[in-house]
């Protein structure tokens, strides 16, 4: 870490978030760039507590990468070497279609001019 001002924030992160940021993210970007050459930034996980999980030697979850001016959602798996702690592989998983969020009643759009 080169920015010492971020030390306090990083100390408060969970081990899962640290694995995502420092071990899997660098490999993730290089793997994503193999298919999407213009990708230049990747985030693994988000603010929600269940967006990434560390299960045995696998980090799994959701994230996004930037390509040009837009962001693309991803699901991923990052395999860790249990002996060295390094990332062995990073795979993009089949994306789930977004779930339409609705209330208990039908959505009625307003008429034009209202």
With CA atoms as reference, report the closest residue to 36 among 71, 76, 61.
71
- Given this model, what pLDDT does residue 53 score? 95
Q: Is the distance from CB of 40 to CB of 64 less than 8 angstroms?
A: no
Residue 84 maps to which CATH number? 3.10.450
- What does the pLDDT average to over 86-114? 71
**Least confident residue range of 53-57, 77-81, 92-96:** 92-96
Question: Does residue 38 lie within any of the structural domains?
Answer: yes
Question: Does residue 103 lie within any of the structural domains?
Answer: no
Question: Does residue 80 lie within any of the structural domains?
Answer: yes
Q: How many domains would you assign to the chain?
A: 1
pLDDT tens digits along 20-75: 999 999 999 999 999 999 999 999 998 888 899 999 999 999 999 999 999 999 99
Dist CA 5 CA 2 (whole Å): 9
Question: Does residue 2 lie within any of the structural domains?
Answer: no
- Given this model, what pLDDT does residue 48 score? 84
Question: Does residue 21 lie within any of the structural domains?
Answer: yes
Question: Does residue 100 lie within any of the structural domains?
Answer: no
Q: Is the distance from CB of 6 to CB of 18 less than 8 angstroms?
A: no
Question: Does residue 72 lie within any of the structural domains?
Answer: yes
State the average pLDDT for the chain.
85
Question: Does residue 7 lie within any of the structural domains?
Answer: no
């Amino acid at each position: 870490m080169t920015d010492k001002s971020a030390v306090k924030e990083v100390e408060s992160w969970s081990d899962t978030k640290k694995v995502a940021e420092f071990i899997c993210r660098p490999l993730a970007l290089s793997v994503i760039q193999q298919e999407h050459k213009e990708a230049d930034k990747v985030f693994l996980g988000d603010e929600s507590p269940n967006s990434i999980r560390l299960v045995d030697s696998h980090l799994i979850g959701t994230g996004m990468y930037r390509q040009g001016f837009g962001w693309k959602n991803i699901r991923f798996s990052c395999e860790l070497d249990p002996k060295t702690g390094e990332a062995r592989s990073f795979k993009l998983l089949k994306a789930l279609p977004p779930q339409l969020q609705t209330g208990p009643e039908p959505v009625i759009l307003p008429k034009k001019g209202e």
